[in-house]
């Protein structure tokens, strides 16, 4: 067993949740407490009902997620939202969420971990916003098709390639999740390719017009890296077991 407050204090400090500006509904940090003791750590991308029910089944756990339970702001405890809260409380499950603080973290972050998994070299933070980098960039030095294949292997799924730039790739930008709208900024920075999770239809068109290779690798798939790695490190630090709950949606 480990103390919930001690784990939360460590996470808050490591992820700098009070310093990194995020969407109002993200509510980074501890979102739901349990009785104060943690027997096991679970991680998942989304705090969905299915994930919460699975994590609650063991009792006395802590669920680390990237997308928490309060995205819509203040809402009544009815319907699916009520069932999620009820399932967590019945299972004595605490829930901790980290959105942008986890994306941009230099060691546990989705951006840097995906870039490493792809095989980029010379990885460095890029695209500052509100004092923190939105993404990372690295060197490739091989072909566009080889890059797309490497991304597919890293995320374990088929990817969508917009082959709008040159075939030889030198610099690659990585912003995980739903960052397709950053096409213009990435193109203006001189990158040869952009790896992200997903984007609206118009982002593909804009990439073509700006001559930027874009690889859409899946919102969910690009954001499994951070919570998995973080949960493993936290579990090891506090002498706990951990497990990842996989619930891909295909997008």
Domain layout of the chain by residue ranges = 2-99, 110-222
pLDDT score of 75:
87
Residue 250 has pLDDT above 90, yes or no: no
Contact 65, 46 (CB under 8 A): yes
| Cβ density class 209-229: b for 16+ within 10 Å, e for less | eeebbbbbbbbbbbbbbbbbb
Going from the C-alpha of 39 to that of each of 22, 35, 59, 87, the distances in angstroms are 30, 11, 8, 17
pLDDT score of 72:
80
For β-strands 168-175 and 193-196, DSSP reports them as parallel
Residue 58 has pLDDT above 90, yes or no: no
Q: What percent of the chain has pLDDT over 90?
A: 92
Strand order across the beta sheet in which 241-244 lies: 29-32, 94-97, 61-67, 40-46, 241-244
Please provide the CATH number assigned to the domain covering 2-99.
3.40.1390.30
The H or E element that residue 175 is part of is strand 168-175
pLDDT score of 24:
82
* pLDDT tens-digit series, residues 74-104: 889 999 999 999 999 999 999 999 999 999 9
pLDDT score of 56:
95
Residue 59 has pLDDT above 90, yes or no: no
Rounded CA-CA distance 58/44 in Å is 15
This model's pTM is above 0.85: yes
Q: Taking residues 2-11, what's their average pLDDT?
A: 98
Mean pLDDT of the chain: 96
* pLDDT tens-digit series, residues 124-174: 999 999 899 999 999 999 999 999 999 999 999 999 999 999 999 999 999
What class, spelled out in words, does domain 110-222 have in CATH? alpha beta
Sign of CA dihedral 76, 79, 85, 89: positive
For β-strands 37-38 and 2-3, DSSP reports them as antiparallel
pLDDT score of 251:
84
């Amino acid at each position: 067993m480990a103390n919930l407050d001690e784990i939360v204090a460590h996470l808050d400090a490591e992820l700098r949740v009070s310093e990194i500006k995020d969407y109002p509904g993200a509510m980074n940090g501890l979102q739901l407490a349990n009785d104060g003791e943690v027997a096991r750590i679970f991680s998942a991308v989304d705090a969905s009902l299915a994930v919460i029910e699975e994590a609650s089944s063991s009792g006395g756990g802590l669920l680390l997620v990237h997308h928490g339970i309060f995205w819509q702001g203040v809402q009544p405890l009815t319907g699916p939202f009520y069932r999620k809260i009820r399932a967590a409380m019945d299972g004595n499950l605490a829930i901790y969420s980290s959105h942008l603080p986890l994306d941009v973290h230099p060691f546990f972050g989705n951006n840097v971990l995906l870039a490493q998994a792809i095989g980029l070299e010379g990885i460095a933070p890029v695209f500052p916003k509100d004092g923190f980098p939105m993404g990372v960039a690295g060197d490739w030095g091989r072909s566009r098709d080889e890059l797309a294949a490497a991304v597919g292997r890293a995320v374990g799924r088929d990817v969508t390639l917009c082959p709008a730039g040159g075939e030889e790739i030198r610099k690659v930008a990585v912003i995980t999740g739903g960052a397709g709208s950053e096409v213009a900024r990435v193109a203006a920075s001189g990158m040869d390719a952009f790896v992200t999770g997903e984007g609206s239809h118009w982002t593909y068109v804009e990439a073509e017009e700006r001559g930027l290779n874009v690889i859409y690798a899946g919102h969910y798939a690009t954001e499994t890296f951070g919570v998995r790695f973080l949960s493993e490190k936290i579990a090891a630090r506090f002498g706990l077991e951990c497990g990842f709950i996989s619930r891909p949606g295909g997008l």
